[in-house]
Structure formats: structure tokens, C-alpha cells
Amino acid sequence: MTDEEVARLRAHDSNISRYRQLLKTNLSDLERRFLEQRLSEERSTVDNLAQPASIPETGHSRPV
């Protein structure tokens, strides 16, 4: 994992922590839904970044 990827993961993790803290406060329904959506998006992004990139198979050529 590159330094840039680690930095991105840390930024997303920081956002997740902040959203969790905000969800513990007194919010309107609209604000709560917004934060829950952002939290879901951040978690999804972290999951995608944390998965190893798929490596294409080599040695197999397909006819054009």
C-alpha cells in the first residue's frame, strides 16, 4: 500500500469518526439521514481502498 493510499484511508477513517460523534448529538431527521448516508459512503470507500487491487491475468492473449 502506498503512502498516498494510507493517507486516504486515514482521512476517511477520520471522517467516519467525526460522523459517528455527530450522530451522538441532537440532530434533525434530515441532518441524521445526511450523516448516515455520508457515513455509509465513507465506509464503502474504506472497504474498497482496503481491498487489494485485482491483478489481471498474464500469459493469456485473447484474439482480436
* pLDDT at residue 33 in the model: 98
Nearest to 49 by CA among 14, 4, 19: 4
* pLDDT at residue 10 in the model: 94
* pLDDT at residue 43 in the model: 96
**Domain residue ranges in the chain:** 3-48
Distance in Å from the first CA to the final CA of the chain: 34
Cα 39 from Cα 33, distance rounded (Å): 10
pLDDT in tens, 6-61: 899 999 999 999 999 999 999 999 999 999 999 999 999 999 988 876 555 665 55
Distance of CA 20 to the CA centre of its chain: 14
* pLDDT at residue 2 in the model: 86
